[in-house]
Chain A
Amino acid sequence: MCFKNLPIEFDESGRARLRSDIRDPYAYTSTKTVATQQERIEELLRRNGHIHEVSIDPVTRVAGALAFHAVVDLENRKVLDAHSMATLFRGYEVILKGRDPRDAIFISSRACGVCGGVHANCSAEAIEMAFGTPPPPMGIVVRNLGQTAEFLYDHPLHLFLLAGPDYSETVIRATNPEIWERAQTALAPNADVHGFKTIGEIMTALNPLTGSLYLEALEMTRKAREMTVLVWGKYPHPQTIVPGGISTTISMRVLNEYQVRLFDLLDYSKKMALLWDDVFNFLYEIEPRFRQVGARPKNLIDAGIWDHHEAYDADYRHADHWGERRWNTPGVVRDGELVTTNLHLLNAGLEEFVEHSYYDDWNDYPLKTDPVGNPLSPYHPWNKQTRPKPTGRSWKEKYTWACTPRWDRTVMEAGVYVRMWTTAAAKKIPENPFIESTGQSLRMLVPKGRLPEMTLEWHIPADWNAIERNRARAYAEAYTALVALNNLLIGYELMKQGNTAVSRDFTVPRDFRIGVGFWGAGRGYLTHHLTMDNGVLTNYQIITPSTINASPRDPWGNPGPYEEAVLNTPIIEQFNSPEDFKAIDILRAIRSFDPCMPCTTHVFAGERVVVREVNTCACILEE
């Protein structure tokens, strides 16, 4: 039984249905505990000088507008309260309503400039499901080649440019000099692969702007983006992704050029996994409290990604089948156990709430079931309406533009690491020569390049925290590169067979249709749900990973993942006075999720995108 909280049961043949003994099965009562807790925190702040409010606005080294508010007991080194705030409204759901569904690919793509292709792909899947137009095999392969390349860019970006500096010499020296002292002499076990003798050397190489790893990562992002452009024509926001396939023409030369760059990244992935292993293992050893930084329950969700060219048919009725044949298995992990890999059940468990968000509730409940009869909540994305209602900020009431997605009314977390976890646990990865899912790990055979052939193995971790999020992300580079290699080889084979069609014709239906794109972003889970009628969109709902992770309290008072991770974070940082406190542990916890707020929120009409004082010298040449 995968549902514990929703009123869904299964009949003898395994079909889901609503429990008949509950009169109003999806009704709930919002808790009052949030207000009570806030009153208690306010009282603590009034009475105790060592308890401080920490407002981080904006949180730097994340994309877009994320602010974070915490209440920290500096004497006892504990976080007492935490609130995540998305400070801008996104509005794509409003913009897309009433439009031709084909527009959604290009408009929704603009939800993020970091994940510049994921929304286009997700939208194309939702639309081709509604249209009944599956892509031909080569179309699926080329989408995968572009999508793997995009992530090969995204993982180093996160690990070396955004989260990486948190573990650099500059930061460690400033916040934990005792760790830096030990790092300088601690030998790096994988020095033969990455070339750094000590942990201190790695940390120095992580220094922003000047460190060799920082600069190398910038260079690697260029190669990965070149790969993306080779197969998608343009990046970000490819114009070539269409319902029923892709509009680029793929030649042997394109595949060859892609391969040259891929082998550079395969090599890079070996180094990336092992150098982060060295840093993180050292930190665990020297300071066991790092296991608590960013810790939260092992409740994780992922929609899977990268369809298999022989399985995907864009038909919701078969989503349970083609979902499980993806190169990353979809799934839900609850308390560390994989409870489903079935996209129908993943979809049926989804709800979005707005109790603590700047939106009004809605009353419509048009879709009681999905196309195969699974019950749907009135709060399901196919039933949700986006009704913005900005108000003043109140921790007891509303304080963010992010909604509150939940699965089975449980706080779930999204991330690339979830993909790794579900795929490792499920043992359902398509047969291939490079990756093995063992049930507890992902074993990856990375071919010889400049570095020798190497087997990397990522294990489902015993602890779940900031370090393990980042470690999984480091191994995800190798995993992603191997998915790319598998698809490249399939592409060569299809080409040899003359099977080179990359798209299929379609017509825009005029009757009522629904569709959903199950996909993934650079930071995990992504879905687009749509309904359409008379040839236009009647509803469009996007759930991004950062919406899930940045979500505020839910109706039952449970904090969202960022909030929960920060609440569990000990203060390891050394400081002499409250003024010296840099909140690095809180920031490590937040950044480990790789927050990307543009897709959670976006510009609201009338507001500027970037607000900053400019300081360029304005010496006038002529006027």
Chain B
Amino acid sequence: MTDHHQVERIIDPLSGWLWPSHARLQPRTKHQRDVTEQQRSPGEQRVLVAGIGYTNLRDLSLGPALVTRLQSDQWPAGVVIADLSYSPIDVLFQLQAVPRFSRGIFVGAVPRGRPPGSVMVMPWNPPMVTPDELQSRVSEAVTGVIDLENLLLILDHFGALPDEVIVVEIEPFDQSWGDGFSALGEAALDEAERRVRALIQQVLATTET
């Protein structure tokens, strides 16, 4: 360990992002989308692939597990693979401090009563939430709750979501404490990986043309 900042970069989930103090939080709405302090270059495609979930909660940990798989590859500049399994407010600070992403692919296990192991890919359309509900989500965020939907709602409220967002949801089977996944979860992880890789390739192909 030679320098403190090296330590910080190594452990930073978004590959070396520091938190510049000039990036400021402001009240922004969905209609004020051009919010990032540092704007990306015209035509530049920046893709964020994010996994969200708790570790050691079996299939509920599939989001971060997928990120670990993807991070073992070399990706072109502009593609950031990140585990965003921490407070959505901190994620907000991070996203506000860097050029805005054009595409976001957010992956997590979300129990909705679908067939266990199923993988759903969908565009994210913000649900209607009341200010009270949203405030509850912020309270959860600052008090330690890690949750895919909280993250999307909060990033959306403060205008920090990528321009287009795709959500990849995996229906968990085993939600108990422990490492590893159920057989259904394992298969879903493979399937989710295949689809996420295809989505990234689609975006990159669009950029090239």
Residues of A whose CB lies within 8 Å of any CB of B are 60-64, 112-114, 157, 161-162, 165, 208-210, 215, 218-219, 221-223, 225-226, 229-231, 233-234, 236, 239-240, 247-251, 254, 260-261, 596, 598, 603, 605-610, 612, 614-623
Contact = CB atoms under 8 A, between A and B. Distances in A.
Contacts of B129: 615
Given A620-B121, A621-B122, A249 B144 contact: no
Given A161-B139, A616-B127, A610 B87 contact: no
27 contacts: A62-B143, A112-B144, A157-B142, A161-B139, A208-B138, A209-B131, A209-B135, A209-B138, A210-B27, A222-B21, A225-B19, A226-B19, A233-B8, A233-B11, A234-B7, A234-B11, A236-B86, A247-B1, A249-B4, A610-B147, A614-B111, A616-B110, A619-B122, A619-B123, A620-B120, A621-B123, A623-B120
Interface string B155-193: 001000000001101000001111000000000000000
A248 B1 contact: yes
A275 to B, nearest CB: 19
B209 interface: no
B123 A606 contact: no
Interface of B: 1-4, 7-8, 11, 19, 21, 24-27, 54, 57, 60, 86-87, 89-90, 93, 110-112, 118-127, 129, 131, 134-136, 138-140, 142-145, 147, 149, 152, 157, 166-167, 169, 175-178, 195
Given A61-B139, A112-B144, A226-B19, A234 B8 contact: yes
B4 A608 contact: no
Contacts of A61: 135-136, 139
Nearest to A620: B122
Contacts of B60: 608
B71 to A, nearest CB: 18
Contacts of A609: 54, 57, 145
Q: Say whether chain A's binding surface is mostly helix, strand, loop, or mixed.
A: loop
A545 B147 CA distance: 26
Contacts of B135: 61, 165, 208-209
Nearest to B131: A209
A607 B138 CA distance: 23
Contacts of A218: 25, 89
B143 A162 contact: yes
A498 B44 CA distance: 48
Nearest to A60: B136
A251 B177 contact: no
The residue in A61, A114, A210 that gathers the most chain B C-beta atoms within 10 A of its C-beta is A61
B177 A603 contact: yes
A63 B7 CA distance: 29
A605 B138 CA distance: 27
Contacts of A616: 110, 124-125, 127, 149, 152, 167
Contacts of B122: 617-621
Nearest to B195: A622
The residue in A113, A157, A248, A616 that gathers the most chain B C-beta atoms within 10 A of its C-beta is A616
The residue in A229, A236, A247 that gathers the most chain B C-beta atoms within 10 A of its C-beta is A229
Contacts of B19: 222, 225-226, 229
Contacts of A225: 19, 90, 93
Contact of A254 (B1, B4, B136, B144): B4
Contacts of B111: 614
A540 B121 CA distance: 45
